[in-house]
Structure 1
Amino acid sequence: MSEGGTVGKALAVLDQVAGFGRPVRFGDLQAQSDLPKATLYRLVQTLVQQSMLAYDPDSQTYSLGVRLVRLAHAAWQQSSLAPIARPSLDDLSARIGETVHLAQLDNAQVLYVDKRNAAQPVQMFSGAGKVGPAYCTGVGKAMLAFLDPVQLEAALAQQSYHRFTDTTLTSADALRGELATIRAEGHAFDREEHEPGIICIAVPILAESGRMLGAMSVTGPTTRMTLDDLTKLAPQLKDTAAFIAREAQTWRFPETQKRTGS
């Protein structure tokens, strides 16, 4: 087994444990794994030794280890838009009184990196740290629309196109057509495509070069808002996204900013 292969398999095990959302027995892991039992056991034991997994001898279960908490916190600070965007998200959510999400792409899926709740919170799937589909969420489509052609085709090939609701787009061709509209209008909608009764408007967060950094959205229930209501929020959302992009550029590339500004 190559070193690169070992690392990849170990990460797959971590993803598998995380996917259960609860402490899991080795038998459960084995039932879902293509790895030989001895290989899987060796990987699990190594991850436990490195504190990437924790083992509870009483329940004989494995869960994500505390070392991952430290690494996740460092990644949140260093690699996500969340620390930069948080004041802007707070301000926007307070002004409009609705839920605001911040997201980035992770292996062609949506990774929610922050969320600001509305004055009247509504139960929904999204939450900081959760991963969701890109093809049927507002933030996902907003990000897909502004990928370069090669990245886009790779991302489209990784979508499941599962039908969550009657309005879910279930093919790459249908999605391509909507992405063209999103590029022209500068914003995307979730028309109850992922969850019934939940709609949103989303915009990309773009660097000056046009590179896609992430996306943000305003989300709410159909019981108190319509797509027309959300459309009226597009200017505020786009202004906030542009501000976050400028802040991200200054934070991530300070030396470049200093040279170009001198």
Structure 2
Amino acid sequence: MDDHLRTGRSEGTVGKALDALDLVCAQDRPVRFSELLPLSPWPKGTLYRLLQTLVKQGMLHVEPETGSYTPGLRLVQLAHSAWRKSSLAPIARPHLDALSGKVGETIHLAQLDRGQVLYVEKRNARHPLPMFSEAGKVGPGYCTGVGKAMLAHLPDRERCAALQLQAFHPHTAQTITSAEELEIELAKVREEGIAFDREEHEPGIVCVAAPILSPTGRVLGGLSVTTSTARRPLEDLATLAPLLRETAEMIAEDAADWQFPG
């Protein structure tokens, strides 16, 4: 659960309602009130009122027979609108297709969301691999190649704030577990223009990643090619860096007139 849900720090009714919506959406199945209550920072009456408000607004649906909550159709409509207007995915689609056809490995397109990686599009490898990432999922910034590619190119103040939001949980023996160590890594990323995931998030999964930058150097997103060590060593994957940078530059060029969400 996110820290703001554990502590109940969100202010106002709207903030609390959004936190309650996050709580339902974080579950991978329909969830009953009795299951949500131990996870929430609010008393029973407050949580019930928040959920009922969300149901009335169409943001949540409650199954009459079971009382289970699921995301509502209005939320689906809003998500689709956000994907079209605030996501790089529609702009990047032809370039992702072309890159996927050339390399035959998994392609990820991502944007930064409060210091974390929001996967907005994915192309599976010719022979798909099981892995964490899916379009719409949020992953860590500090231990993914695409996350490090984006974090490295943030302005100093923004990068410092983003690093404070990292969990630094040791997912594998290779995971970077401190802000100081990550800053050293990000300096290398800025120098080389490329980032790597060296089995830092998932055992056996490696990637090479590049930032998508506006002409002024603003971080628009990140792009990565991912595979497994059983199929392709990291050294071999690194040879795709020039093609990855070229694709990122083409996406940035096509996004020149895009009103990037702040």
Instruction: Give the TM bin, normalised by the shorter chain.
Output: over 0.9
Which residue in 1 is equivalent to 2:26?
19
User: Which of 80-89 and 25-34 deviates more?
Assistant: 25-34
Q: Given the alignment, which residue of 83, 97, 103 partners 1:76?
A: 83
Aligned residues: 251
Which residue in 2 is equivalent to 1:39?
46
**Rounded Cα–Cα distance in structure 2 between residues aligned with 1:109 and 1:19:** 15
1:214-233 alignment, distance < 5 Å: 214-233=221-240
1:1-20 alignment, distance < 5 Å: 5-20=12-27
Structure 1: gaps spanning 5 or more residues: 254-262
1:184-223 alignment, distance < 5 Å: 184-223=191-230
Which SS does the other structure have where 2:90 is aligned?
Answer: helix
**Rounded Cα–Cα distance in structure 2 between residues aligned with 1:33 and 1:49:** 20
Which residue in 2 is equivalent to 1:48?
55
The letter of the residue matching 1:212 is V
**Rounded Cα–Cα distance in structure 2 between residues aligned with 1:137 and 1:189:** 7
* CA distances 1:151-177 after superposition (whole Å, capped 9, x unpaired): 111111111100100000011111000
Per the TM alignment, residue 28 of structure 1 is displaced from its structure 2 partner at its CA by 1.5
Which SS does the other structure have where 2:30 is aligned?
Answer: coil
Which residue in 1 is equivalent to 2:111?
104
Which SS does the other structure have where 2:177 is aligned?
Answer: coil
1:24-173 alignment, distance < 5 Å: 24-173=31-180
* CA distances 1:6-39 after superposition (whole Å, capped 9, x unpaired): 1111111111111111111111211011112211
Per the TM alignment, residue 139 of structure 1 is displaced from its structure 2 partner at its CA by 0.6
Per the TM alignment, residue 120 of structure 1 is displaced from its structure 2 partner at its CA by 1.1
The letter of the residue matching 1:32 is L
Which residue in 2 is equivalent to 1:256?
none
Structure 2: gaps spanning 5 or more residues: 1-9
* CA distances 1:129-152 after superposition (whole Å, capped 9, x unpaired): 111111000111111001111111
Which residue in 1 is equivalent to 2:3?
none
CA RMSD of superposed structures (Å): 1.2
Structure 2 length as normaliser, TM-score? 0.94
Which SS does the other structure have where 1:20 is aligned?
Answer: coil
The letter of the residue matching 1:237 is L
Per the TM alignment, residue 60 of structure 1 is displaced from its structure 2 partner at its CA by 1.4
**Rounded Cα–Cα distance in structure 2 between residues aligned with 1:43 and 1:139:** 35
**Rounded Cα–Cα distance in structure 1 between residues aligned with 2:248 and 2:232:** 22
The letter of the residue matching 1:122 is L
**Rounded Cα–Cα distance in structure 2 between residues aligned with 1:12 and 1:59:** 23
**Rounded Cα–Cα distance in structure 1 between residues aligned with 2:66 and 2:172:** 38
Which SS does the other structure have where 2:231 is aligned?
Answer: coil
Q: Which has the higher helix share?
A: 1
The letter of the residue matching 2:62 is Y
The percentage of counterpart residues that share the same residue type is: 60
**Rounded Cα–Cα distance in structure 2 between residues aligned with 1:4 and 1:122:** 41
2:189 equivalent to 1:182: yes
Which SS does the other structure have where 2:212 is aligned?
Answer: strand
Runs of 4+ in 1 over 4 A off after TM superposition: none
The letter of the residue matching 1:217 is S
* CA distances 1:60-110 after superposition (whole Å, capped 9, x unpaired): 110111111110000000000000001000000001111110000111111
Which residue in 2 is equivalent to 1:243?
250
Per the TM alignment, residue 251 of structure 1 is displaced from its structure 2 partner at its CA by 3.9
**Rounded Cα–Cα distance in structure 2 between residues aligned with 1:68 and 1:221:** 35
The letter of the residue matching 1:129 is G
